[in-house]
Structure 1
């Protein structure tokens, strides 16, 4: 079985701030309020996305896969950047990977809300293509975790450059589907 090992390049995941001095009840309250704001904003993102798709002539698959996913992923991006800047590297990575795995679970919740049968029967070629692209991107990430490199183009590893290329290429194909 594969297991991670510490090398001389391994960076300890130690947040810079003294977490013992933080007002925990205030922190939990702010967290919950922020979560509510994000949830309400998500409702309006969905409403606006339907209008964008109908008014622009873009398919709902393209609008959903690109526009709404970018809008709803911005909080994850901000969280990951802030976590990296605070030295919480595993939090940054776990936020993105955990968010994506939780997103898959949302399909099960959406399926229970769909009253006309299984939502999976409504999946078309575009959604199947995006799913295949996600699997390819996830595999690329996994391979990058197994094969680490010290430096690369723009200080990014080959997996990051590959993921950007696959994403852009995939969404160009999706646009024309």
Structure 2
């Protein structure tokens, strides 16, 4: 029965992503809102709804580690796995708006979350402040898009396979897609958590791995399908927007509604939150160099998630090879990454002088 839930959940996620991408793209064309902004708002919030449901429910049930691990793990998975796989399917062109506005906002809210968590918890007033930030961000993004589209026609790519449909059909596609995504995530996570708990894994590790990957499958399905269909702005905007919404909406609402807020384990402060922050910061130079995510960069992202997942598994199993593994990463992987990013930035600014990009 557990495996049936897993397979059925995955099938519903794929179907829900298909409906959501079609409905959101068609709605954007009708209202004059760019597909990028739809990806950053409507699609991002919709695909973050499983994280919201899981985090609030688990916190009310006393599994706060699961709630925090879900958001932190999902943000890491969104960049490394989803953008990685989407870029492997087709190299992604990154909008200048994403590089100059949305990625810095994602980095900023990530720093804000880490700062709020330093005292060992997210208080209710901090959750309310985060949620207020989500309202301000959404309103500002949509208003800016409408104002810019009045000044000049939208230049975003529109997939010819997405045919404009009637307003009732758009609503049905979006609501139906979100419903399928929510139900599919619930079934998949329910089955996955049952398997993980069978092996005695902690709530935080389950949240960082099984639940994070499960609730990120809507983003994965949506971004990969959008990439295949040519809606690359939705593919990138969905990931960046989802990371912003995960922090501002999911953790914000969770901390606001749960009595006592959300406690932050020391292990999350010393490792998982810094990794989430590093992944967010790493997006900026990669997005900046050529305003695209090449297949090699997608492969690099995906490989990094494999390293992160291996560390979590070794930690959960208390494997004796963990110290050697960490030493190898520090000696080889980290310096190689810094050198690669440095060379990419040097080449970029050598070819494109600052201020002329």
Same fold judged by TM-score > 0.5? yes
Query: What TM-score results when the alignment is normalised by the length of structure 1?
Result: 0.75
Which SS does the other structure have where 1:70 is aligned? helix
Judged with a 3 Å threshold, the aligned counterparts in structure 2 of structure 1 residues 149 and 161 are, in CA distance, closer, same or farther, namely farther
Would the aligned equivalents of 1:76 and 1:96 in 2 still touch at CA under 8 Å?
A: yes
**Matching of residue 143 in structure 1 with residue 314 in structure 2:** no
Unaligned runs of 5+ in 1: 6-11
Q: Distance between the aligned counterparts of 2:187 and 2:159, measured in 1? A: 36
Structure 1 residue 19, shift from structure 2 partner: 6.0
Structure 1 residue 96, shift from structure 2 partner: 0.9
> CA RMSD for the aligned pairs?
2.9
Query: What TM-score results when the alignment is normalised by the length of structure 2?
Result: 0.40
Q: 1:170 matched to which residue of 2?
A: 308
Judged with a 3 Å threshold, the aligned counterparts in structure 2 of structure 1 residues 128 and 29 are, in CA distance, closer, same or farther, namely farther
Q: Which has the higher contact order (CA 8 A, sep 6+)?
A: 2
Structure having the higher helix fraction is: 2
**Matching of residue 15 in structure 1 with residue 130 in structure 2:** no
Among 184, 198, 211, the alignment partner of 1:55 is: 198
Which SS does the other structure have where 1:22 is aligned? coil
Q: Distance between the aligned counterparts of 1:143 and 1:97, measured in 2? A: 15
Structure 1 residue 67, shift from structure 2 partner: 1.3
Judged with a 3 Å threshold, the aligned counterparts in structure 2 of structure 1 residues 110 and 52 are, in CA distance, closer, same or farther, namely farther
Among 244, 249, 256, the alignment partner of 1:112 is: 256
Aligned length: 163
Structure 1 residue 46, shift from structure 2 partner: 5.0
Range with bigger deviation, 88-97 or 29-38: 29-38
Would the aligned equivalents of 2:192 and 2:210 in 1 still touch at CA under 8 Å?
A: yes
Which SS does the other structure have where 2:277 is aligned? helix
Q: Distance between the aligned counterparts of 1:125 and 1:69, measured in 2? A: 17
Would the aligned equivalents of 2:193 and 2:211 in 1 still touch at CA under 8 Å?
A: no
Unaligned runs of 5+ in 2: 1-94, 98-154, 316-357
